[in-house]
Structure 1
Amino acid sequence: MTYHSGSRAVQDRLGVREFADHVGRGIGQGIRPVAAAFLGLQPLLVLGAADPASGAVWASPVTGEPGFVRATGPRQISVAGGVRPDDPLAPALAAEGTPVGTIALDPRTRRRMRLDGHARPTPRGFAITADQVFSNCPKYLQRRESYERLDRAPKPARRSTELTASQSEFVAKADTFFLATVHEHGADASHRGGNPGFVRVDSPGELSWRDYPGNSMFLTLGNLSLDPRAGLLFLDWESGTTLQLTGTASTEFAADGERTVRFRVKEAVETPSALPLRWSAPAYSPANPEPAR
């Protein structure tokens, strides 16, 4: 199933169904050799799924030495290790058959790959059987030339029901975040990028951003049209701090077709030094629009 009714409704509303069908031909179930090679070079994988107990949707990072994510079959990847024991998605990855979306993003080459499927625990981590595998264009991806792996341990997570002043500043300065959504048959993880300020903090409990023009598939907005649950992940690419948010999101459509997504925070989890990776400073994508004032 390339597109469900939610994505089709958005495509039809914006008059892009024919183009979406053309782009959708690039979606498959198999992991091609070039995709397998790409995965094997990555030190970071982002997951999106729903907590089986609360139903809350979260986006979570997993890191390891290149090779920790491997294609182990025509439709399967295996991940060595996993999320931290206190990560909101730890229960989901411990269950059999959890719908999960993944995105591997390489700032060095401005390439990204998405694989959506169902996860199962393994003795060394977890495996995912793919339902959909596809790549996206480099639009709105910031280039970071290199990274180094540091010997640092995560500090205790801070949980709250809205953003603190420092977290609001963190979001306002971000040039990248990851967005997890779900639908009846699965889950998806995607990327959003722009110049700092592209995400607005409208209040301690609400964020908003413009939905920039993309590939017209509208997988994320399609999911949100049917199920408003969503999870956001912000990374500090230097300090390794992560900010995970769960809540609900909705899309506002202007008469000219421009779109704004509004996200309402239900819970926030900030983990200082969560990731051992420190990336070089970004070169912003030339496709980034100037943030609205």
Structure 2
Amino acid sequence: MPTSTITESDAVEVLVAAGFDVSARPHERRGVDLLVSRDGETAVVDVKVRQKTIYEWDALRLLENAHERVLIVVPIASRGLIDAAKRDRRLGVVSLGNRLVIWNRKEIHSPDAIAKTHAPTVPGRRRNPWGRWAIMRAYLLNEKPRSQLELAEEAGVTQSAVSKSNSILEGLVVRSPSGWRATDRLALWHAFMAEYAGPGGITTYWYGLDAVTDQSNSVAAAGASAGVQILVSGDSAADQLAPWRVPARAVVYAASGMALGKLGFAQTTDERATLTFTVPTDHTIWATAASWSQRGDISTVDPVIAAWDVRRTGGPDADEAIERIRDLVLTGGRS
């Protein structure tokens, strides 16, 4: 079985399959919180993702200083963790491997629990280098040599982060008399596509009846009315940047959660979704989108992120669609 790192979004999928309504909202210190609703009750939860099983005393320690309910997400919940959640309603558990949720002291199984009875094998993982990935995109989006300060502004990172990343990217980037530039942007493209692990944060999945581009436009318009920053990505962005295939799924990034149910969407699972909605932890996507757009009306992510999301959506013509976006980037085109 392929290895993967579990995330908050994995928990959202299990919760939705088990009959919960889930939305995300930003948190100044933690990044993103979840709002979990079931049986008329809505609770803000502090999500704690653990890449291996923890035990009762670990859970009790997490509860000691908690101001909200705590939701622990693990590959497979230990018996002690389950028992602790059954004693204290402030503690919730999502056990991904057997699709089990402990909520309000009760065990709740998602409908597909029998089909998915094995826990994922999860390796250790360091913190995602979103700054370096943003700097790679900055080099891809503009072939002209620039100073480290200019690169920092385009990527939304510090100048010291650019310096550190340039050292790591040695061989792919070089310093010339007029500034730093990529030595081989095609090689840099392939390196980014191989390395990027996504924007993090929390993703919820939605089903709509309208055309995919109309779905993303609807969310973008609602975000503008509510003062929520929105960027469209994936097929919706590709349709604006380099049209090639009929969009299969809308991808939307937002600065905070929104009530998509009021826009006519129904919450669903990844497999059935026509739109994914993410409140990302990777805040560099806003900076590189602005750098690429170079205008006040920023509606899409930068094309490198758009191509990554097209690949994630997949489909028989995804590779050709990605090549179209890649060619746009490498020839210096603009939206």
TM-score normalised by the chain length of structure 2: 0.26
Q: Which has the higher contact order (CA 8 A, sep 6+)?
A: 1
Bigger radius of gyration among the two: 2
TM-score normalised by the chain length of structure 1: 0.28
